[in-house]
Structure 1
Amino acid sequence: MAAVDAGRSVLVSAPTSSGKTVVAEHAIDSALAAGRRAFYTAPIKALSNQKFRDLGERLGHDAVGLMTGDQVIAPEAPVVVMTTEVLRNMLYAGSPATEGLGWVVLDEVHFLEDPYRGAVWEEVVLNLAEDVGLVALSATVSNADELGDWLTAERGPTTVVREDRRPVRLNSHYLVAERGRPRQVHRLSIRRGNRSNPDGRRFDVDRQTRHGRGRGRRGWASPRRDEVLAELSRHDMLPAIHFIFSRAGCDEARDVMIRDGVQLNDAAEERAVDALVDNRLADLPEADLAALGVMAWRDGLRRGVAAHHAGLIPAFKEVTEELFAAGLLKIVYATETLALGVNLPARAVVIDRLTKFTGQTHQVLTPGQFTQLTGRAGRRGLDDEGHALVCWSPFVAFERVASLAGSRDFVLRSAFRPTYNMVANLILGRTRSEATDLLSRSFAQFQLDRQDAAVHQGAESRTPPSRQRSSPTTTTNLSERMEAALRVLEARGMADGWSLQDRGIPLAAIHNEADLLVVECLNSGLLEGVDPAMLSALVSCLSYRKRGPGEPSSVELAGAFPERFRGICALATEVAAAEREEGLEPAESPDPGFAHVIHAWASGKELVDVLDGTLTGGEFVRNVRLVADLMRQLTKVAPPLLVAAAEEAGRCLDRGVVALAIGRPDSVNGMDGMNGP
């Protein structure tokens, strides 16, 4: 806080619940005291929503605004909470809202390693005015000093506050079931002091087999979910979050507890659950609730048991989070997305297994992922200690488990890469040399330069704190990628040298992984001359991606759709060929798998008729919101008739369960907003 008072930017790298928010609030107070504004950015709408409420309670609701892809509330307020993308868009557009800005808080700045969204955090750092102070809040990362050095190079003197100690002591346990009669569950500490517990090695499969236990009458097994819950309950480790890296696994665990008659709430807690659920879901039609399986979901909540994953509609997830925070849920079976969302600490965290399917193969969790999950264990002010329990698996040796539990190795790596949208905005706002300079000042290039300097100076030398920019082998890396993207734009008639053609100007306003293809479709007229429902179907092909392996999606919508979809695919093939020519990785192909679903919804069909058994309610809502977001972007750059159709499509989509989507503090009276400034 002294650094903020001195006008220095600050990087705070610390565990969950360690008080990082205090520094952010002090910076906001400092801005207000100086008669200036403050922006608080968060990576997801749920966290923006929470911060909007928290700051409103602290400063007064008239003093705090909100800007997300879903809505805008009081954007002229002295303090505005927003998603990081909104601020990035403001900076590129030269929005007057950034005038008089004193401080910016970048929450969850470690998101800059995200392969799809990470560049946004760096773009904000690189484009903010020099006189704006920055408070960057991060999870514990082992290279915080490196990140601080980069911030110093770009933002001026930056104080790095690093805290590795957790506010609540963490005990790590290993849970192993022993087959036999009776079946037993063993729990032992993973570490003894600074070393792994030698007793744990006897549970490894190779030792087990060597001693004749692998195929004999006894052996080790992963404990069942009911055994884990019994262990947690017996040793006063509830409430707990049990992480299972599968939506189906989370639902199955909850259903088993219900089927077994587990009852963790008393009568008063059941009534409190009923009251909150009734209040939150009052605006959903009974038919929608039935289609979403609300009875089974509600039964679990009343018992103190819930599942939490992206397959649930946002309203269900929000209710689950509220109940857990209120102590009305004792066990939540969740995917790792809960670890990245709003602040929900528990007394204990269970990791079902240490391997996670990436879409192609199973990989052991990284130290950073392990730390993120176990960071939820231990409630500050409520618990003297937290507990992390890891379930036995035959595929991960105990020493690997102990290494993860004792590791502090969470190295932050930049994922900054020029996109077509970024290149378009750089062309509009900077000279070619200025754009090249901006890329050279990214954290990605900063890390590349340091690695190159270390190689040149030898393994024994220490990397100097100053930026190394002399090496031709790395300094051109990102600028070469920008030039390759520019050549693709030239090949597609969207740029001529360092100048955007009329066809390319819409790129500056399209924020999508398929940004170039979206603009190609816009220029080709493939999105024009159709009704709002068909427009929704066509746009969904640019945002929807089928989950998991299996055959590609098939076309299931008639009318104008098949021919127009073939046109979109032809454009995608042309773009991919141009990208391969320049050595760039093409985007994924258009996917028609959601088109018939969103067409029915935009046509006014009921939810029970739209959910076809292949999509969960949460997947449905998420994909509708992605289409609605892209529609809002199109309204900024499309011809008038297409703008009218896109606006009408947005109104058709935004109803029922979709209107209760996460990120809306007031889902009934909330006002729609734009994704950008």
Structure 2
Amino acid sequence: MIDSAGRGFVLDGFQRRAIEHLDAGRSVLVSAPTGSGKTVVADHAVDRALAAGRRAFYTTPIKALSNQKFRDLRQRLGPHRVGLLTGDNVIAGDADVVVMTTEVLRNMLYAGAVSEQLGAVVLDEVHYLEDPYRGPVWEEVILHLPSSVVLVCLSATVSNHEQLGGWLKQVRGPTAVVVEARRPVPLTNLYAVGRRRSDAVQILPTLLDGRPNPEGGRFDAPTPAREPRGSGRSRRGGPGSGRSRRGGPRGSGGSKHRGQRPRVPWRPPRRVDLLAELEERGLLPVIWFVFSRKGCDQAAARLVRDGARFTDDAEAARIDELGEARLGLLDPADLAALGTGRWADRLRLGIASHHAGMVPVFKEAVEQCFAEGLVKVVFATETLALGVNMPARSVVIDKPVKYDGQRTAPLSAAQYTQFTGRAGRRGIDREGWAVALWSPDSTFAQVARLASSRSFELRSAFRPTYNMVAGLLSRMPAREARDLMGRSFAQYQAETASLPVDLARRFDAVAGVLRERGHLDGWTLTDSGSLVSRIFHEAALAVAEALWSGLLDGLSPSELASVLSAFTYEHRSPGARPEVWIPSGTAYRRLRRIGVALDSLHRAERNFGVEPTRPLETGFGPAAHRWAAGESFEALQEEGFSAGDFVRNVKQVIDLARRIAAVAPDQGTSVAAQQTVSALNRGVVSLSGAVYEPAA
């Protein structure tokens, strides 16, 4: 059933079942753990489409995954049969098989650019449809693809797979649900505890026969003691209270303050000690999840200071070779500004960080070294769990809590499963290992619940947006567009649960705003409304109105870059938003006028009960202006952005500038937008978008 070239393994049962359904002409939803081999099913769908003389599209949620899949398919099918379409790359877009981000396919569907030649579409990581901003894109694709296209939806393990499958059958026709709950590599959960004033690490199984280990509870920190009312103790540590000026009982060392947690003999194990234990047990390589970028870098640096080394001379030489191949095109000044020397020294020792604050070329080098077994310890944020395929023998969870953008919250069972899904390499390891560390922030029972839970219910994030409503009304009558809302997974879930959700009414509210702003005449798009339908961006209406009213006309590339950055930049740190100075007076005045128009839009949104468009954020404006004006990456370091954040934000401005260049009513603005793309896409930014293919 499958081309046997390069398939040196026996198919699992769920793979065989999914392939049989595809051979019978059905679409499939495959829900299975990370690393279980869902890609085999996708490859079979691609092969079937090619054998029938048709094309196949393979979509992924992020550019890094698209680049990786592009390399994999080119290696399997040959370089001339596979193309790539992302915001960074357009390579052989008319090839038989094209890999793309899901947004690119959605845009093609709205532009009527999907031909009848298309036979199969793979939607990888389809559980992304619960993402608050990007999730609706998956549902738009599913709803708009021609019925003749076979759909392969690949999902992580979700508990409501039958519900998702039922919706797919309703909107796509015959669709089989194939579920595999068993991990391809069994997972053992461990709990690691350090002892104060000791290097010893105690490691015990978290679960015994699927139930919490009864030994674990003895490591829990006691709850703070409360003094009984009327105890006669003073609330202040003054004379006669028995407390010293430092606040503790005299002679006690101050170890038991009122209401404080009593001192316990346990602590999280030191990283160097735990890694020594894991190495002795043969449990490296390891991905150690630390839920902050700074924490990752500090952990790697401390490990180096502690004298750790996990490579021999031959491995270190190979790491140098790979690093030079990746970084050879960067300017020496940029390499110095990026701190390449410190990064390379750690890598040579088999130690690395991996997080969004790093430039992509650094992360890709780490990934390749890890895949070749050269780097043994990677300290990573959660972006690694959601990104490229990079399994390890073991995974360590540094803390059972993480900052979610608004507050520090406990890990969910779904997050824990996502992180530990990286443990255990199929075909290499007989077993994967997940190690949770003792923490005063949680009890052993809480950790055990995370380890034993497999519940992850997928919830739709679908909602009508300005671009979606305008795009639908450009292609179909209003009645059909409103009916489409009722076919969404969000509406399906609401009706299944008898919840009062009416997406058609939300559609009408969004249309009401468009009508009041002059983009709809009745239910017919005006010329400005047509522009809204062609701008695919979170702030589509605000961007379209600025463009239509001429507020983006007559700007230089650096001025346009700074203005566009106000639509794309999002201040994410918990600290206050910085005050910034816009280098160009012209750009500053344009931003003021756009802000006034946005205030007017917000009033209309409140009147119709529509979620407000997010406000302008000018925090990246100076950096965007200076980079587009040709200043060096080294000089831009004073703007205070990490290298990875700088590159990511510049790329977002580039994506929006490309869209402006394609749709601007004014030819001069279109040319300026093209020049803005050229001015921004240079040096470390352009190299970070390149598709790296190692030499054979």
The reply to whether TM is greater than 0.5 is yes
2:534 aligned partner: 509
Distance 1:491 1:12, change over 3 A: same
Maintained 8 Å contact 1:553/1:591: no
What's the offset of the Cα at 1:497?
A: 2.0
1:469 aligned partner: none
Provide Cα deviations, 1:549-576, integer angstroms capped at 9, x if missing partner: 2333323123312212211211221111
Maintained 8 Å contact 2:109/2:145: yes
Please state whether the residue corresponding to 1:41 is helix, strand or coil: strand
1:167 aligned partner: 184
CA distance in 2, matches of 1:602, 1:487: 38
Amino acid paired to 1:623: N
2:286 aligned partner: 240
CA distance in 2, matches of 1:208, 1:538: 53
Amino acid paired to 2:128: F
What's the offset of the Cα at 1:664?
A: 2.9
What's the offset of the Cα at 1:187?
A: 1.1
Higher RCO structure, 1 or 2 (CA under 8 Å, sep 6+): 1
1:493 aligned partner: 518
Say which of 198, 202, 205 aligns to 2:221: 205
What's the offset of the Cα at 1:359?
A: 2.2
Please state whether the residue corresponding to 1:82 is helix, strand or coil: strand
Maintained 8 Å contact 2:199/2:270: no
Distance 1:542 1:208, change over 3 A: closer
2:575 aligned partner: 550
| Residue 47 of structure 2 is aligned to residue 21 of structure 1 | no
Distance 1:666 1:25, change over 3 A: closer
2:308 aligned partner: 262
Amino acid paired to 2:101: T
2:65 aligned partner: 47
2:265 aligned partner: 219
Q: Matched residue pairs, number? A: 643
1:317 aligned partner: 363
1:121 aligned partner: 138
Distance 1:215 1:570, change over 3 A: closer
| Residue 173 of structure 2 is aligned to residue 156 of structure 1 | yes
Distance 1:234 1:219, change over 3 A: same
Provide Cα deviations, 1:504-535, integer angstroms capped at 9, x if missing partner: 21111212111111112112222111111111
Say which of 182, 191, 195 aligns to 2:207: 191
Maintained 8 Å contact 2:557/2:673: yes
CA distance in 1, matches of 2:609, 2:439: 41
Say which of 585, 598, 621 aligns to 2:647: 621
2:340 aligned partner: 294
**Bigger shift: 569-578 or 166-175?**
569-578
Maintained 8 Å contact 2:466/2:510: yes
2:195 aligned partner: 178
Provide Cα deviations, 1:24-49, integer angstroms capped at 9, x if missing partner: 11111111111111111111111111
1:653 aligned partner: 680
Maintained 8 Å contact 2:129/2:136: yes
| Residue 624 of structure 2 is aligned to residue 598 of structure 1 | yes
CA distance in 2, matches of 1:508, 1:227: 57
CA distance in 2, matches of 1:185, 1:538: 54
CA distance in 2, matches of 1:222, 1:513: 42
CA distance in 2, matches of 1:330, 1:564: 51
Maintained 8 Å contact 1:91/1:98: no
CA distance in 2, matches of 1:135, 1:344: 23
Amino acid paired to 2:484: L
| Residue 479 of structure 2 is aligned to residue 433 of structure 1 | yes
CA distance in 2, matches of 1:215, 1:125: 53
Amino acid paired to 2:96: P
Any residues of structure 2 matched to 1:519-598 within 5 Å, and which?
519-558=544-583, 559-598=585-624
Maintained 8 Å contact 2:385/2:422: yes
Maintained 8 Å contact 1:536/1:602: yes
What's the offset of the Cα at 1:219?
A: 2.1
Please state whether the residue corresponding to 1:307 is helix, strand or coil: strand
Say which of 303, 307, 313 aligns to 2:353: 307
Amino acid paired to 2:635: D
2:429 aligned partner: 383
What's the offset of the Cα at 1:89?
A: 0.8
Amino acid paired to 1:307: S
Maintained 8 Å contact 2:193/2:266: yes
What's the offset of the Cα at 1:206?
A: 2.8
What's the offset of the Cα at 1:613?
A: 5.3
Which runs of no fewer than 5 residues in structure 1 stay unpaired?
456-472, 668-677
CA distance in 2, matches of 1:94, 1:308: 39
1:466 aligned partner: none
Amino acid paired to 2:170: A
CA distance in 1, matches of 2:305, 2:432: 29
CA distance in 1, matches of 2:287, 2:397: 9
| Residue 394 of structure 2 is aligned to residue 367 of structure 1 | no
Provide Cα deviations, 1:563-598, integer angstroms capped at 9, x if missing partner: 122112112211111111112221321111111111
CA distance in 2, matches of 1:451, 1:103: 32
Maintained 8 Å contact 2:531/2:544: yes
CA distance in 2, matches of 1:594, 1:193: 53
**Bigger shift: 22-31 or 256-265?**
256-265
TM-score w.r.t. structure 2 length?
0.90
What's the offset of the Cα at 1:226?
A: 2.1
What's the offset of the Cα at 1:199?
A: 1.1
Distance 1:199 1:574, change over 3 A: same
**Bigger shift: 542-551 or 62-71?**
542-551
Any residues of structure 2 matched to 1:451-470 within 5 Å, and which?
451-452=497-498
Please state whether the residue corresponding to 2:526 is helix, strand or coil: coil
| Residue 431 of structure 2 is aligned to residue 406 of structure 1 | no
Maintained 8 Å contact 1:208/1:219: no
2:118 aligned partner: 101
Which runs of no fewer than 5 residues in structure 2 stay unpaired?
1-18, 227-254
The Cα RMSD (Å) is 1.7
CA distance in 1, matches of 2:55, 2:574: 48
TM-score w.r.t. structure 1 length?
0.93
Provide Cα deviations, 1:617-648, integer angstroms capped at 9, x if missing partner: 00000000000000011112111000000001
1:139 aligned partner: 156
Distance 1:652 1:268, change over 3 A: same
CA distance in 2, matches of 1:323, 1:479: 51
Say which of 321, 334, 357 aligns to 1:275: 321
Maintained 8 Å contact 2:224/2:262: no
Please state whether the residue corresponding to 1:585 is helix, strand or coil: coil
Say which of 656, 664, 668 aligns to 2:691: 664
Please state whether the residue corresponding to 1:611 is helix, strand or coil: helix
CA distance in 1, matches of 2:215, 2:223: 12
Amino acid paired to 2:185: V
Maintained 8 Å contact 2:400/2:441: no
What's the offset of the Cα at 1:547?
A: 2.0
Please state whether the residue corresponding to 1:510 is helix, strand or coil: coil
Amino acid paired to 2:214: P
| Residue 631 of structure 2 is aligned to residue 608 of structure 1 | no
**Larger C-alpha radius of gyration, 1 or 2?**
2
CA distance in 2, matches of 1:191, 1:434: 53
2:442 aligned partner: 396
CA distance in 1, matches of 2:463, 2:58: 24
What's the offset of the Cα at 1:425?
A: 0.4
